[in-house]
Every structure is written in structure tokens, then in C-alpha cells.
């Protein structure tokens, strides 16, 4: 079987087998998932689920709840089999063969992959450590005017850097794309992990018509195995995108879990402070080892090393998996997501051992 062309984090059972390791022997610091989940309400909903009937094809109840949360109409919401499915559906529905897709990098590799599958030309505008990974709004506007991209991909807060782009800048970029008939696709997968997150997206109040927003429920609620995310846009592009979605794409289990998450108003306010405390403690421990740590608006962090792939292999041999960021164009950095304090202490010890 050909490997998937995009590198991802998380545990790879085949890789572990070659090393003589089992998944239960390894701690995963490569996945940006809340280590204090899933919520009990989600587990209870799954225990009482009847798996016999087909799932609701339209995800009506879930779309209604999401619409209430974002102050929009249900026909502005599309639920998907994780944010990843929605990325590919948006590229298929809105992409144009031969047109330019502009990616604000470093960024998730599936944006470029989805566009290349459509036959688009992918161009990157990259930020670097020298500029603290901050995108330059003026340079981006110049690139939009020069390239006239049909699709512009932006992840904010960013994976893997954690940098957040101001709401006013996002709106300005969307308007710049609109002048050339383009779309801005905004990945909001990590918005709910902000230290000071209010529970709402400021773009709910002033989203331009050509802005497509994609959200994930799997990170902050720790349900990555269920695959659940959603997209918010004007009803017209939503209608165009949903035509490419297979029937029953979102399972009954994912829908039931998502409804339980949205009804649970205590889980995030209770666990996010614990997650950020664990992040602060882990960053301090790595600093104490003399490592260069970059952390911005997210609890996950980048750690500088001479060779990311080599560092990952050495830590994996000690039962800790970090994310080699070479596929992001950052071959001297690994990304580390905090776990529970006892697990974080094990990672610091492993890093001390490899020198």
C-alpha cells in the first residue's frame, strides 16, 4: 500500500512494530489533544448509543446546535468526518484546475495535498523563526494582488507555531481575495485551545461572504478517533461543498458525541486551565535543560534541535513520540503537545538522557 503523501503526527502502529514497541508502551506528545478528556458526558452518550440505524444524513440536530452557538442559520453549517474531510471537500467544490492556491505556511500539509488533487498550482508564503513565525500582512496582501489566488488557506491559531492572526487582518485578507473572485479558507481547529478563549469566535459577527471557516471538535474534547468537525460559510458555498460529501459520512457515534460536547458547559472551563498549567510546567522543564522552546498562543510548543528526525527517533526509543516538523519545512524543530504532569516529567527525563 502506498503511503499517504502527507506526514501526520499520532502513533504509527506499523512503525512501533518495527521497533518492537506496543502503543500502550508509548506516550504520544505528537498529537495536539486535550489530555484531560474525553468528557464523561461523551462516554455516557456512546454507551447508550444504538448502532443499528443509519446515521442522520443531514446531521440536523447537530447543525441546529452549532448554528445556535455561532449565531447563524443551520443551512450555513456543514458537519464532516473531521476537519480533514471538510478541507478536501472545500478544495474539490471550490478549487479550479490550473488556478493558484496560496498557503500561508508553515501549515498543515493537507491543504496543499487537497489542492493538488484538484489540479491547482500551490504557492506558499512562509513565516520563519527569524520573524517569530508572524505572517506579514502587507506581504500577504501584495502576494494576493500578484497571484490572485482562487483559494487562500490560513490556519489561525496556527499549527505548528501557535501564532494567531488578528481578526481584522483575516477580514482584510478575505476582502483582498474577493476582489479577484477568490475564497479564504480559515482553519479554526485550535481556536478553543486558546488560554483566554471566550467560547465564541469573533468572526461570528463579521464574517465576509467569501470566508469558509473550518472547526474541529476532536482536539479540545479528546475524541480524535471519532472524526467530527464542521464548516461555517454562507449557504451558497455550503450547498456547493455538500454535493461532494458521501452519504452517511458522519457516524451516529460522532453525532451523539458532538451533541454531548456542545451540551457540556463545564468541561472546557475545567480542563483548559489544567492543560495550560501542564504546558507551562513542561515548557519550564525543557527550558531548564537548555533547550530553545517556542510557544505562542497554543499550549503545544516547538523545541529546537539540530535534527528533528533524529531527535524524534531517540525519544521514541525511550517511549515518547514527538512531532518531527520537517514536513512543515522546519527540519530543526519538533512539536510537543503537553500531556498530564506525570507524562510530561517522563518526557523531560527522556530528553535529559539523550543530551
pLDDT averaged over 10-residue windows placed end to end, the chain, 355 residues: 72 78 88 97 97 97 98 98 98 98 97 98 96 96 98 98 98 98 98 93 95 97 96 98 98 98 96 98 98 98 96 94 96 98 98 93
Q: What is the CATH number of the domain that holds 84?
A: 3.40.640.10
Model pTM score: 0.96
Does any domain span residue 5? Answer: no
- Rounded Cα gap, residues 113 and 87, in angstroms: 10
Does any domain span residue 133? Answer: yes
Residues 77 and 18 both lie in one domain: no
Residues 175 and 299 both lie in one domain: no
Does any domain span residue 99? Answer: yes
Q: Domain end: 228, 244, 263, which one? A: 263
Question: How far from 240 is each of 98, 129, 207, 343, CA to CA, in Å?
Answer: 20, 38, 18, 45
Contacts of residue 257, defined as CB under 8 A and 6 or more positions apart, other chains included, come to 38, 42, 45, 46, 221, 223, 226, 228
Question: How far from 272 is each of 149, 223, 305, CA to CA, in Å?
Answer: 37, 15, 28
Residues 251 and 279 both lie in one domain: no
Secondary structure class of 40 (helix, strand, coil): helix
Does any domain span residue 4? Answer: no
Into how many domains does the chain fold? 2
Residue 322: predicted pLDDT: 97
Residues 153 and 252 both lie in one domain: yes
Query: Smallest Cα–Cα separation from 321: which of 35, 16, 47, 4?
Result: 16
Does any domain span residue 134? Answer: yes
Q: Domain end: 241, 263, 285, which one? A: 263
Residues 182 and 321 both lie in one domain: no
Q: Domain end: 238, 263, 288, which one? A: 263
Does any domain span residue 96? Answer: yes
Residues 46 and 152 both lie in one domain: yes
| Buried residues in 28-63 as b, exposed as e (16+ CB within 10 A) | bbbbbbbbbbbbebbeebbeeeeeeeebeeebeebb
Q: What is the CATH number of the domain that holds 19?
A: 3.90.1150.10
Does any domain span residue 3? Answer: no
The three cell numbers of residue 167 are 481578526
Residues 294 and 241 both lie in one domain: no
Does any domain span residue 1? Answer: no
Secondary structure class of 16 (helix, strand, coil): helix
Residues 221 and 156 both lie in one domain: yes
Residues 314 and 235 both lie in one domain: no
Residues 320 and 275 both lie in one domain: yes
Residues 278 and 338 both lie in one domain: yes
* 296: containing domain: 13-30+267-354
Residues 271 and 223 both lie in one domain: no
Amino acid at each position: 500500500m502506498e503511503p499517504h503523501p502527507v506526514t501526520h503526527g499520532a502513533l504509527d502502529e506499523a512503525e512501533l512494530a518495527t521497533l518492537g514497541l506496543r502503543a500502550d508502551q508509548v506516550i504520544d506528545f505528537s498529537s495536539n489533544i486535550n489530555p484531560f478528556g474525553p468528557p464523561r458526558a461523551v462516554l455516557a452518550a456512546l454507551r447508550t448509543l444504538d448502532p443499528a440505524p443509519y446515521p442522520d444524513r443531514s446531521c440536523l440536530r447537530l447543525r441546529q446546535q452549532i448554528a445556535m452557538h455561532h449565531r447563524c442559520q443551520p443551512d450555513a453549517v456543514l458537519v464532516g468526518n473531521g476537519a480533514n474531510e471538510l478541507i478536501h471537500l472545500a478544495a474539490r467544490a471550490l478549487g479550479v484546475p490550473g488556478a493558484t492556491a496560496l498557503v500561508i505556511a508553515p501549515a498543515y500539509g493537507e491543504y496543499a495535498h487537497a489542492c493538488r488533487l484538484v489540479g491547482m498550482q500551490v504557492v506558499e508564503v512562509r513565516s520563519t523563526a527569524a520573524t517569530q513565525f508572524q505572517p506579514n500582512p502587507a506581504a500577504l496582501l501584495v502576494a494576493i494582488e500578484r497571484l490572485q489566488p482562487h483559494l487562500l488557506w490560513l490556519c489561525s491559531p496556527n499549527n505548528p507555531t501557535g501564532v494567531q492572526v488578528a481578526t481584522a487582518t483575516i477580514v482584510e485578507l478575505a476582502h483582498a481575495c474577493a476582489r479577484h473572485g477568490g475564497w479564504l479558507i480559515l482553519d479554526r481547529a485550535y481556536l478553543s485551545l486558546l488560554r483566554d478563549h471566550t467560547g465564541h469566535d469573533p468572526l461570528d459577527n463579521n464574517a465576509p461572504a467569501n470566508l469558509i471557516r473550518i472547526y474541529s471538535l476532536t482536539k479540545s474534547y479528546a475524541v480524535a478517533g471519532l472524526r467530527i468537525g464542521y464548516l461555517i460559510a454562507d449557504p451558497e458555498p455550503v450547498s456547493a461543498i455538500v454535493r461532494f460529501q458521501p452519504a452517511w459520512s458522519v457516524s451516529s457515534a460522532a453525532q451523539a458525541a458532538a451533541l454531548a460536547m456542545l451540551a457540556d458547559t463545564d468541561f472546557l472551563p475545567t480542563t483548559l486551565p489544567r492543560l495550560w498549567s501542564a504546558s507551562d510546567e513542561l515548557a519550564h522543564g525543557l527550558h531548564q535543560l537548555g533547550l530553545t522552546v517556542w510557544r505562542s498562543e497554543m499550549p503545544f510548543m516547538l523545541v529546537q534541535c539540530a535534527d528533528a528526525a533524529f531527535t524524534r527517533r531517540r525519544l521514541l526509543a525511550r517511549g515518547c513520540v514527538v512531532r518531527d516538523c520537517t514536513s512543515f519545512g522546519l527540519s530543526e524543530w519538533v512539536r510537543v503537545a503537553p500531556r498530564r504532569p506525570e507524562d510530561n516529567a517522563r518526557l523531560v527525563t527522556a530528553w535529559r538522557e539523550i543530551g
